[in-house]
Structure 1
């Protein structure tokens, strides 16, 4: 199908341009002035007065995630619909094997679960243990195109790794040319605090935040950087929320270490006062790590501006009101996660661009281009350029709301 977007104000991470965009068969075929269509059935879109951005890339979502409270509320179909409505055309989810399951078998299962995604879906792979075959499995993943490996320094009773195993994973990933992404929290200290607070009859949602202080995120970030130095392994630290964490990340980057940082809208826009609200409101913000202080928010915005933080994901993992209510009398049983995949792009535009915290080009970088470059999707994705996928978002400049999203392959996922 042929699509012509006329009068486009094209915003890329490194350029701006006023031109027409001709798309055919899911690719950007031509960019220039006064372009013409060849087919009588071509669709013509007038983007006069609008911004035209590359489709958003959310590098951190959890669709159809199994938990003790049941699966998260969005499967790949409903979650991808929400993403597309908000202007996101590519998501990166996770493959988490069972104990003893090979990474390759886990990937096959997750691919099948994602078949009903209506946008492009890629995966990080999560080693949750070390077996004699693990290095070989990691090498095969990388050979098959899965080059990002998510590990957890929390949740030690299920999927988290101790430092000795984490170092082994880092060395294997580095040896074969991949990258490790990390959830950084001091898991053992957190579990002790959670159980102690419960025993002291401190059971409401606010104790979730108290049990996971910023200092324990920062200490884990520091430790992750130290281990990555030993392994000579590139790392990507997900959902950074704390000002103190940024200090360690910036110092490592200044030394030339490949440390990439991600944050999420919830850490830029909310603080821990949200836990003083009624149960239903507070429970919706049970996530790990929790929102911090206002000073942490401002530090994160500054880190985006300076380039210390280079991507914004969502950690999208919503649960129903009924699922959240399972922890009414025990904050430890409130399922971790909140929504965000539909709202991310509009929120960052509103609070970033319209409040003069970031430029339009910086906005494109942190919501699309940088993730594409980090995870091997660029130049296919993350830019509006001849030969790139026709993943395109048309936006109202006054509000940042998406008025139209085009997808190169809107009827099925490429994994």
Structure 2
């Protein structure tokens, strides 16, 4: 693929910064980025994709990729440093994270590049930010950092089941349900690890880092802890109580709410849908084989029409409150994917808030209106932000942070 010099760029530019991969077109999510490029043209923006490794600091330019419909292929060109940056970087290594942080700092120091939104940190940091708001505290599950084996054992003394979540994980990868099967159960060999958990003192099920299902039984706490230390490695984990976030048939589900800034810089609820896990799955992520359904009909089937209306009203209220709470103490955001759980008693829990959300759920639903809004809103907000004469205070990096892990 040839690289040509782009001598003149008309209009303002928006660079989609993403993680570099191998290949002639070195990034994933090409379909999403292709649609953003086409959408940007309708709004008078030149949109291109780049990675931190593609920046030439000495010449203040970047290797960017655009999709050319006439050629039906991606073309790489030199672009000036973008006027605005839409951050879609995800990380799996410390090196990728370090390159990203360095590149973003230099971008913001060299010229007044506008970042559409500052990535949120890990789950624990987000939990602490939400805890500051009194109106949100009743909806946040008790959470603690898993600092040692003793932490988990203390939780299991008080509860029959707990959930372990990686701080920087996504798509249900690495999430585990740890259950104390019976306090009076006969102990078996400390080395016993079996798929049949019926005779085990402890059981674990969930998904590994490759999103494969796992299920093990352990005869005692020592065997459980040995396995967990190997599984978690050096990754940071959180511990939470096990919440009954499933329907009457035992299938896990959650409610995904997508909120975004619009063309006037105001927060709007783009859409809301239910993600239901594959039978027996602990989480409801679509990447784990789940399915999507419109929130209203699903909740009405589980709780009845009147309760479903109350739940949707409360979910909407929380979706409108959370972005303002986070922006007030974190800095500028452009969009949020908010995951809610609804337990068997109809109580709502805030499970996770993601500043770089996917939007494939609307494709699963074949909801063209919500899908188009989800695509256009970042472009519309970018154009709005570039018309502002003053750079907001949160443009500074003093609040900036992002989890390393995807």
| Fold conserved between structures, TM > 0.5 | no
Give the number of the structure whose residues are more often strand, by fraction: 2
Report the TM-score, using the length of structure 1 for normalisation: 0.28
What is the TM-score of this pair, normalised by structure 2?
Answer: 0.28
